[in-house]
């Protein structure tokens, strides 16, 4: 028997590849299936089952393509209604893979069909728990995503999650290995550990959600401080339930090379958004006007999902050399399948064609320190609220990037302001969005708060509740 975690850092997502005696199972696969197909061929095993812990909201699973290519059955837990052939398993139902068994543990709460899969080894011993979004390391799944579909409140779902964890998971042996669907950085929880594998015994000891004295305190603890889910979550759930275009078709469409003239016509006639995936430090020095910069070097796909409200939005790509396939692939993982082409030769093609370009006014932290007048100048911090609360530039406004579509209209276009994040990745995203909307009266700080903290600019961790960006001020 082998168990392999296939972890994708950009999505903070864990898929699992299991083999035993010539048969295999894959749990929560990514959208692109070729790596799995190659691995199955290399190992000389037959894929028997594709297990899905639930209908995922934060990424589009590869279950359909993988099933079509291998004939493997797709297995969900109870209450799963698919618009394709699948097995909606019964609670405690057993599935054999070679010499091992995988037991379905129905654990509703995160969603109604949410289930964990308990691996029982060749000797009949409970060995591993594939816990999906029911149990994370250090946290549990958020109970607010399925409210509309389940016709239940957030608190009611949290109560169901409590029952699932305390009656189905906590009684299991301490030496069982926990393999969660997500780790730190995922929007599916709020307090996840950076580690991706742990023992159930350690989670029983240190996970706050597993140490609540009663259901009421559990509900309060797991619902407190939840941020609104990204807009694309609901659309990804629908794709996972109803089906989607083959990844091969999506890739073929997206890999259409366009010269500068063709790219310009496509941008003008299709309503496509120009997505520039180069690094912030490169983008700032020159880009196609109206482009939005979300660099492949960071949490690319989640930020696309958080900031571009419709997965059907047509996209045109500007990438570094030979990075267009990676960009199309990572976009498809979060359901953005409508890439209609990329600029052949990258930004240099645009420049060599004599087309108009734009720049962002980026300054160093030292320049910021020399120019800013604390208490008089406006400083906008686009980091998360928790980062801001830990320490921030004195008198800075907290305006998280995730909510830019809400606060952008409150910007006074006549008053200069400074813009920063932690290291420059998120603030360049914000800068590109602002400029695409005609707001140019700012300076973006290279290196972000990390660089600012090395200067003598006054900082504080005092959060003034009234420090809200005033409308048009």
Per-residue pLDDT tens digits for 336-389:
999 999 999 999 999 999 999 999 999 999 999 999 999 999 999 999 998 999
Q: Is 456 within a domain? A: yes
pTM of the entire predicted model: 0.91
Together in a domain, 25 and 144: yes
pLDDT at residue 419 tops 50: yes
283 with 377, same domain: the answer is no
**pLDDT greater than 70 at residue 470:** no
Residue 468 falls inside a structural domain: no
- Work out how many domains the chain is built from and give that number: 3
Domain extent at residue 85: 2-235
**Average pLDDT over the chain, rounded to an integer:** 95
221 and 259 share a domain? no
- Are 182 and 264 in a shared domain? no
Strands 417-420 and 442-445: parallel
Would you report the helix, strand and coil content of the chain in percent, each value rounded to 5?
Answer: 35, 20, 45
Q: pLDDT for 379-417, tens place per residue?
A: 999 999 989 999 999 999 999 999 999 999 999 999 999
pLDDT at 469 over 60: no
CATH number at residue 388: 3.40.250.10
Q: Same domain for 317 and 195?
A: no
Distance of CA 337 to the CA centre of its chain: 16
pLDDT(22) > 50: yes
Torsion of CA 420, 378, 303, 16, to 10 degrees: 60
Rounded distance between C-alpha atoms, residue 265 and residue 84, angstroms: 38
Strands (DSSP E) found in 109-205: 115-120, 126-132, 177-180, 198-199
Rounded CA-CA distance 131/77 in Å is 12
Whether residues 202 and 72 fall in one domain: yes
Instruction: Assign 283 a pLDDT band (cuts: 50, 70, 90).
Output: very high
Q: What is the mean pLDDT of residues 41-63?
A: 97
Task: Write down the pLDDT at residue 464.
Answer: 53
Q: Is residue 473 part of a domain?
A: no
Residue 471: predicted pLDDT: 45
pLDDT of residue 376: 95
Question: What average pLDDT score do residues 179-207 get?
Answer: 93
Which tens digit of pLDDT belongs to each residue from 138-148? 999 999 988 88
**In the predicted model, is pLDDT for residue 226 greater than 90?**
no
Domain end, chosen from 235, 255, 284, is at 235
How confident is the model over 429-440, as a mean pLDDT? 97
Would you place residue 465 in the very low, low, confident or very high pLDDT band (cuts 50, 70, 90)? very low
Last residue of a domain, one of 180, 209, 235: 235
């Amino acid at each position: 028997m082998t168990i392999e975690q296939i972890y994708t850092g950009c999505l903070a997502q864990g898929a699992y590849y299991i083999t035993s005696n010539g048969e295999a199972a894959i749990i929560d696969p990514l959208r692109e299936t070729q790596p799995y197909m190659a691995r199955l061929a290399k190992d000389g095993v037959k894929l028997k089952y594709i297990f899905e812990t639930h209908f995922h909201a934060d990424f589009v699973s590869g279950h359909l393509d993988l099933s079509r290519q291998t004939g493997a059955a797709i297995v969900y837990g109870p209450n799963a209604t698919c618009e394709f052939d699948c097995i909606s398993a019964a609670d405690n139902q057993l599935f054999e893979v070679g010499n091992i068994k995988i037991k379905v543990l129905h654990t509703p709460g995160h969603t109604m069909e949410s289930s964990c899969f308990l691996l029982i080894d060749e000797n009949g011993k409970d060995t591993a728990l594939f816990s999906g979004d029911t149990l994370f390391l250090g946290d549990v799944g958020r109970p607010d995503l399925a409210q509309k579909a389940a016709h239940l409140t957030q608190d009611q779902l949290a109560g169901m999650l409590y029952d699932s964890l305390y009656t189905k998971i906590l009684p299991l042996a301490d030496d069982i290995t926990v393999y969660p669907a997500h780790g730190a950085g995922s929007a599916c929880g709020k307090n996840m550990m950076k580690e991706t594998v742990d023992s159930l015994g350690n989670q029983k000891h240190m996970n706050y959600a597993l140490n609540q004295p009663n259901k009421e305190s559990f509900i309060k603890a797991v619902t407190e401080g939840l941020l609104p889910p990204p807009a694309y979550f609901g659309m990804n759930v629908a794709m996972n339930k109803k089906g989607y275009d083959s990844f091969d078709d999506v890739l073929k469409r997206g890999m259409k090379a366009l010269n500068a003239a063709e790219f310009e016509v496509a941008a003008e006639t299709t309503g496509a958004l120009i997505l520039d995936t180069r690094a912030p430090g490169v983008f700032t020095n020159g880009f196609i006007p109206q482009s939005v910069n979300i660099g492949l070097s960071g949490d690319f796909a989640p930020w696309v999902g958080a900031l571009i409200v419709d997965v059907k939005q047509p996209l045109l790509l500007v990438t570094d050399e030979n990075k267009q396939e990676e960009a199309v692939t990572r976009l498809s993982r979060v359901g953005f399948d409508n890439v209609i082409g990329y600029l052949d030769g990258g930004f240099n093609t645009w420049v060599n064609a004599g087309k108009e370009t734009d720049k962002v006014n980026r300054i160093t932290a030292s320049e910021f320190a020399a120019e800013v007048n604390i208490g008089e100048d406006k400083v906008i911090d686009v980091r998360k609220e928790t980062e801001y609360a830990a320490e921030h530039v004195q008198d800075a406004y907290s305006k998280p990037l995730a909510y830019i579509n809400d606060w952008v209209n409150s910007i006074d276009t006549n008053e200069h302001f400074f813009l920063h994040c932690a290291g420059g990745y998120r603030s360049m995203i914000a800068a590109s969005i602002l400029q695409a909307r005609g707001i140019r009266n700012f300076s973006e700080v290279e290196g972000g708060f990390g660089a600012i903290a090395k200067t003598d600019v006054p900082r504080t961790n005092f959060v003034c509740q009234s420090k809200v960006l005033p409308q048009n001020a």
